[in-house]
């Protein structure tokens, strides 16, 4: 079977390329990665009028064939037929923004020179009209020498014309691709400007409302205030909206676990399915609602054009930490969960900036730490005020957040001067027109994110939870013996205990650290399990976990445990997603290493300071 | 900064908000390769009219600059590499 004809959709950033791609292919898209790089490959199928299928591939937005980012390098390589894992395209759809022809025609000219069968989609003609710009597509067609089709992708206007043109083009005999010689951009740009000028019929000056909106949203005082309000709403939603679906997922998992327990005979298989697979993956999938809500907002901010404004407002502060303004939203998202935060770093052009952001993202206090913090604070920090209505417990919680942020800033500064040194760290971004986000595009984006996360949960995370289960289940305990103590996990914990004793950790903690690799909050249930088994009779099992902890742990140990959780990378989802986003095990290994080292130092310092203070 | 220093030109970061001026020269060598490439992508070129629109809230950095039909954000340090003719 010969592969389907491949049509590449290319264009400059903000030309509305993805919306056009979505309009052409619908939701039937495949998202993958190009081999060897962390650039996503979006492809979809399109059936031509005569029933022939073609494959459409949505190339990363690029300003020219001379790349300034890894994404642009992939675009160039695909177009020249040099990209590993991609066949050379048979035809090309170039998307240009009708109201930004001066700029977008430069890339279009470069692409037309390649000699592939080409159509130009003159997109967003409605917005150009709104801006008082009248264009002559026929004149443009004559200047460029290829068909020009007017489209409004978000309203599906011109899509059938585009399909018809594709039909003609793929049927026509084609000639080979020309080599691309690195071109001097400046003369090309001048030609683009001349052509754009020629294609303009009339232009009436109107005050664009993007400019007016920016007057407010980028205002030195009002702008940051609005940003803070937007973020406040986003975080409220992440926690408030996720409550109900999380409880559904929890009861769903409980139902499945119960059902499995009922049909399976008592024994190892049942334990594997119920405790290992369902329990383990369940502990991770519970985060899906928060991840999706967060992504919903990220996609909205991105599609509306506000995301780059937020980056603009925050760039100076982020620059102080050696990062770019682009890192702000990913890092902020990591306060809910580092997984979407790390996935959102794809918008950072500069590879070194992006890597640094990924490496420090787990230091933002994610929601999985809250159950751990809450338990320990409730057990050990007295519920009293320190004046002015400020509670001591809240103050400690705040301190933990601040420590995480401070740690992230210091880590970013250090990394930027050592392992992720160089690379300019430039902040150069286009501020696109504001646009109403299209529900369809947001839904497609959300669906793709959910799929990526669940695929991870289905592979690396499932594998790890089965491994953790096996470690905790073998060898089987003899009657009267504690299963955890008897298992390999128990033996490993004894080894861990030797390591963590100097930082004040006891046997409870050593036993909880290994299972908590699935997700941090599992530490709470792990500590609970150890205790209920230790307690033996039902009477003391009913005593609240906090009270029992208070009897067994010193305050210094409890504080050291809190300090540990500020830094420790106890989350296989984060490690798995870092592997995906950095395309290998090198950087996740580095991340795990430096974070555990920081956790060890922080917990040790806390413990010994507390002991010295007589706590 | 060995570019042709004409007395009638100032660097882009000194241009007032809302003032339109044409680019006199760009010191490409003061920029890293990928940065220079990006500025060209944005359409920076001698003779092109630019207009600073907004400043970042902290330390008046970065700058939002209108170039041609688009608005771009660049840091003050990069804007210094661009000389513009003083508007009449």
Residue A529 lies in a domain: yes
A438: how many CB neighbours lie within 10 A of its CB?
A: 18
Q: What's the gap in Å between the CA of A12 and the closest CA on chain B?
A: 10
Nearest CB to A431: which of B35, B73, B75? B73
Element (H, E) at A123: strand A118-123
Q: Is A205 on the interface with B (CB under 8 A)?
A: no
Q: How many domains does chain B have?
A: 1
Q: Give percent of chain A above pLDDT 70.
A: 94
Whether the pLDDT of residue A516 is over 90: the answer is no
Task: Single out the residue in A317, A336, A367 at which a domain terminates.
Answer: A367
Residue B1 lies in a domain: no
Q: How many domains does chain A have?
A: 3
User: By the 8 A CB rule, do B80 and B28 touch?
Assistant: no
- State the average pLDDT over residues A83-112: 92
Task: Single out the residue in A337, A352, A367 at which a domain terminates.
Answer: A367
User: By the 8 A CB rule, do B31 and B78 touch?
Assistant: yes
Q: Is A70 on the interface with B (CB under 8 A)?
A: no
> What pLDDT, in 10s, does the model give residues B56-65?
999 999 999 9
Nearest CB to A102: which of B43, B53, B74? B43
User: By the 8 A CB rule, do A86 and A41 touch?
Assistant: yes
- State the average pLDDT over residues A39-67: 89
The confidence score (pLDDT) of residue A580 equals 86
Residue B40 lies in a domain: yes
- A20 and A55 in a single domain? The answer is yes
- A323 and A259 in a single domain? The answer is yes
The confidence score (pLDDT) of residue A538 equals 46
Nearest CB to B55: which of A190, A220, A427? A220
- Identify the bridge partners of residue A431 per DSSP, sorted by sequence position: B71
Residue A466 lies in a domain: yes
> What pLDDT, in 10s, does the model give residues A532-563?
555 544 445 456 778 888 888 999 999 999 99
Q: What's the gap in Å between the CA of A433 and the closest CA on chain B?
A: 9
Residue A518 lies in a domain: yes
Residue B3 lies in a domain: no
Whether the pLDDT of residue B66 is over 90: the answer is yes
Residue A405 lies in a domain: no
Residue B2 lies in a domain: no
For residue A588, the enclosing domain spans: 439-612
Residue A390 lies in a domain: no
> What pLDDT, in 10s, does the model give residues A202-236?
887 666 788 889 999 999 999 999 999 998 888 78
- State the average pLDDT over residues A509-514: 86
Q: Is A505 on the interface with B (CB under 8 A)?
A: no
* Residue A119: pLDDT band with limits 50, 70, 90: very high
CATH code of B44's domain: 2.30.30.90
Q: Which of A59, A69, A60, A66 is nearest to A91 (CA)?
A: A59
The confidence score (pLDDT) of residue A383 equals 83
The confidence score (pLDDT) of residue A255 equals 92
Residue A373 lies in a domain: no
HSE of A562 in the Cβ direction (CA atoms, 13 Å)?
Answer: 29
Whether the pLDDT of residue A496 is over 50: the answer is yes
B87: how many CB neighbours lie within 10 A of its CB?
A: 13
The confidence score (pLDDT) of residue A222 equals 96
Which DSSP symbol is given to A32? E
Whether the pLDDT of residue A513 is over 80: the answer is yes
* Minimum mean pLDDT range among A1-15, A453-467, B18-32, B72-86: A453-467
- A277 and A337 in a single domain? The answer is yes
Handedness of CA A275, A450, A578, A376 (dihedral sign): negative
* Residue A266: pLDDT band with limits 50, 70, 90: confident
d(CA A297, CA A335): 14
Whether the pLDDT of residue A178 is over 70: the answer is no
Q: Give percent of chain B above pLDDT 70.
A: 91
A187 to chain B: closest CA residue: B45
Q: Is A428 on the interface with B (CB under 8 A)?
A: yes
> What pLDDT, in 10s, does the model give residues A566-588?
999 988 889 988 998 898 899 99
The confidence score (pLDDT) of residue A515 equals 81
* Residue B4: pLDDT band with limits 50, 70, 90: low
Cα–Cα distances in Å, from A223 out to A298, B18, B55, B62? Answer: 18, 18, 11, 14
- A308 and A196 in a single domain? The answer is no
A179 vs A414, more confident: A414
* Minimum mean pLDDT range among A177-181, A399-403, A511-515: A177-181
The residues, any chain, with a CB within 8 Å of residue A140's CB and separated by 6 or more, are A101, A120, A122, A148, A195, A199
- A128 and A183 in a single domain? The answer is yes
- State the average pLDDT over residues A250-257: 90
The confidence score (pLDDT) of residue A564 equals 96
DSSP 3-state of A320: helix
Tokens for A222, please give them: 């009002």
Averaged pLDDT of chain A: 86
The confidence score (pLDDT) of residue A414 equals 94
* Residue A71: pLDDT band with limits 50, 70, 90: confident
The position carrying tokens 């599906």 is: A156
Helix residue ranges, H only, A264-285: 268-271, 279-285
């Amino acid at each position: 079977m010969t592969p389907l004809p491949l049509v590449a959709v290319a264009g400059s950033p903000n030309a509305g390329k993805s919306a056009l791609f979505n309009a052409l292919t619908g939701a039937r898209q495949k998202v993958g990665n190009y081999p060897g790089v962390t650039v996503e490959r979006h492809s979809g199928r399109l059936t031509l009028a005569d029933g022939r299928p073609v494959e459409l591939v949505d190339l990363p937005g690029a300003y020219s064939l001379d790349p300034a980012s890894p994404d642009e390098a992939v675009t160039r390589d695909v177009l020249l037929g040099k990209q590993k894992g991609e066949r050379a395209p048979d035809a090309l759809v170039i998307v240009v923004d009708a109201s930004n022809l001066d700029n977008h025609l430069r890339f279009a000219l470069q692409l037309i020179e390649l000699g592939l069968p080409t159509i130009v989609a003159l997109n967003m003609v409605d917005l150009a009209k709104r801006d008082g710009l009248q264009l002559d597509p026929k004149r443009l067609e004559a200047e460029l020498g290829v068909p020009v089709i007017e489209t409004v992708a978000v309203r599906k206007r011109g899509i059938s014309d585009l399909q018809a043109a594709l039909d003609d083009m793929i049927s026509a005999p084609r000639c080979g691709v020309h080599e691309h010689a690195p071109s001097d951009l400046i003369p090309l740009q001048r030609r683009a400007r001349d052509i754009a000028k020629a294609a303009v019929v009339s232009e009436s000056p109107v005050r664009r409302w993007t400019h007016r909106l920016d007057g407010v949203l980028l205002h030195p005082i009002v702008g940051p205030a609005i940003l803070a309000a937007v973020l406040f709403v986003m975080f409220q939603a992440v926690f408030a909206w996720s409550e109900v679906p999380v409880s559904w997922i929890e009861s769903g998992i409980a139902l499945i676990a119960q059902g499995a327990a009922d049909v399976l005979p008592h024994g190892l298989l049942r334990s594997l399915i119920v405790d290992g697979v369902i329990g383990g993956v369940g502990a991770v999938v519970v985060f899906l609602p928060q991840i999706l809500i967060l992504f919903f907002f990220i996609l909205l901010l991105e599609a509306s054009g506000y995301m780059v404004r937020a980056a603009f407002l925050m760039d100076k502060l982020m620059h102080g930490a050696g990062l770019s303004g682009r890192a702000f939203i990913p890092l902020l998202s990591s306060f809910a969960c580092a997984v979407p935060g790390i996935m959102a770093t794809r918008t950072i052009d500069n590879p070194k900036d992006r890597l640094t952001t990924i490496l420090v993202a787990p230091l933002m206090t994610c929601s999985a730490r809250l159950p751990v913090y809450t338990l320990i604070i409730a057990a050990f920090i007295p519920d009293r005020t320190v004046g002015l209505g400020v509670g001591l417990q809240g103050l400690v919680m705040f301190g933990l957040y601040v420590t995480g942020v401070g740690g992230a800033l210091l880590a970013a500064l250090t990394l930027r001067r050592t392992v992720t040194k160089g690379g300019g760290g430039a902040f150069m971004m286009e501020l696109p027109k504001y646009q109403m986000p299209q529900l369809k595009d947001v839904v497609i984006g959300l669906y793709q994110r959910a799929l990526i996360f669940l695929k991870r949960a289905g592979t690396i995370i499932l594998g790890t939870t089965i491994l953790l289960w096996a470690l905790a289940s073998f060898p089987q305990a003899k009657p009267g013996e504690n299963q955890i103590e008897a298992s390999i996990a128990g033996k490993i914990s004894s080894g861990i205990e030797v390591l963590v004793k100097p930082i004040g950790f006891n046997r409870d903690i050593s036993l909880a650290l290994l299972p908590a690799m699935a997700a941090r909050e599992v530490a709470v249930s792990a500590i609970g399990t150890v205790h209920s088994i230790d307690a033996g009779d039902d009477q003391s099992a009913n005593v609240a976990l906090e009270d029992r902890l208070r009897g067994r742990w010193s305050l210094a140990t409890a504080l050291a445990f809190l300090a540990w959780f500020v830094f420790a990378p106890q989350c296989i989802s984060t490690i798995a997603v870092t592997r995906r986003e950095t395309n290998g095990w090198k950087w996740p290994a580095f991340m795990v290493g430096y974070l555990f080292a920081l956790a060890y130092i922080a917990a040790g310092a806390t413990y010994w300071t507390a002991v010295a203070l007589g706590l | 900064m060995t570019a042709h220093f004409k007395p009638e030109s100032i660097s882009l970061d000194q241009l007032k908000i809302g003032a339109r001026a044409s680019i006199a020269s760009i010191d490409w060598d003061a920029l890293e390769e990928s940065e220079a490439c990006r500025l060209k992508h944005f359409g920076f070129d001698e003779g092109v009219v630019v207009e600073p629109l907004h400043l970042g809230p902290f330390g008046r950095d970065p700058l939002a600059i209108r170039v041609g039909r688009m608005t771009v954000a660049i840091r003050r340090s990069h804007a210094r590499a661009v000389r513009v003719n003083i508007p009449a």
